[in-house]
Amino acid sequence: MRAWVHRFALAFAFFAMSGPASATSSNTDLSDLWWNSAKPGSGYQLVNTGTFVFATGFVYDPDMRPFWFSAELAKTQATEPTYTGTLFVSNGPFFGGPYDPSAVTFRDAGTMTFVLKTPETGELAYILDGVVVAEKVARQPLTLDDYSGRYSASYTVISSGCTNAGRSVSLVDVRIAQNAKSMLQVWTFPNGNICNYTGTYSQLGRMGRFDANYNCNTGEFGTRTMFEMTNTPQIFNGRIVELRTGNGCFRNGEVAGVIPR
């Protein structure tokens, strides 16, 4: 028991020191596979670090042969997150033979711009050797993550229209049971309040979403959406909007949890 409490406290200290991220899409991680579902067999991969994105595209040339390119994009607008930069085409040795790095060539072939519209969707526009492409893209579905487990979590929330309005940070015990798209979350708060969240989980690319109804042992009930959820081994993160039924209490927050070892 003492080991659990000690690890719980360490997790809380770590997340509290990290501080809450801004609750806007401007800090959404773009790293993922993106595609236009009307164009199967082609797509784009974005790798996002800070305000920089390295993009690769896998498409087809006029002779229907596979063709790929890359781009280096810098953030140029934060309110509607926009990344713009130069598009490159490279050539090099045959992948199945000896590889001579000196034979690799790069050339500027155009420009690319990516605009994030929602955490899961965007608009991509580029010019490649004079050919103009503009399309709506989304994170490409692969498999569903499984969040099942018991987590020590830091919950940072800003409340409005509530009796305890304002900003607060809590250490909560979060237990998640998931069966494919069905999910149950049980949150135990430091003051002894227990809330059950039951609903449906969905996912596009790396980003998950949990739409739920909730009820607490205090009699409170309402709706919650957890979105921009990500899951790595023993760690999960998500943003939360919650509306209490009956009194207009609204909560906007973020949660980060770990499974103590």
Q: Which CATH number fits domain 143-258: 1.10.20.10, 2.40.128.120, 1.10.287.70, 3.90.1170.50?
A: 2.40.128.120
The H or E element that residue 179 is part of is: strand 166-179
Give how far the C-alpha of residue 178 lies from the chain's centroid of Cα atoms, to the nearest Å: 19
For the segment 185-214, what is each residue's pLDDT rounded down to a tens digit?
A: 999 999 999 999 999 999 999 999 999 999
**What DSSP designation does 93 have?**
-
For the segment 33-89, what is each residue's pLDDT rounded down to a tens digit?
A: 999 999 999 999 999 999 999 999 999 999 999 999 999 999 999 889 999 999 999
Average pLDDT estimate for 240-258: 95
- Contact predicate 167/156, CB 8 Å: yes
User: Which pLDDT belongs to residue 103?
Assistant: 96
Q: Domain spans of the chain?
A: 26-139, 143-258
Using alpha carbons only, give the angle 15, 21, 23 rounded to the nearest 5 degrees.
135
- Per-residue pLDDT at 9 exceeds 50: no
Average pLDDT estimate for 21-31: 64
Are both 26-139 and 143-258 of the same fold?
no
The CATH code of the domain at 26-139 is: 2.40.160
Query: pTM for this one?
Result: 0.83
User: Which pLDDT belongs to residue 26?
Assistant: 53
Question: How long, in residues, is the chain?
Answer: 261
The H or E element that residue 121 is part of is: strand 121-128
The H or E element that residue 5 is part of is: helix 2-18
For the segment 157-166, what is each residue's pLDDT rounded down to a tens digit?
A: 999 999 889 9
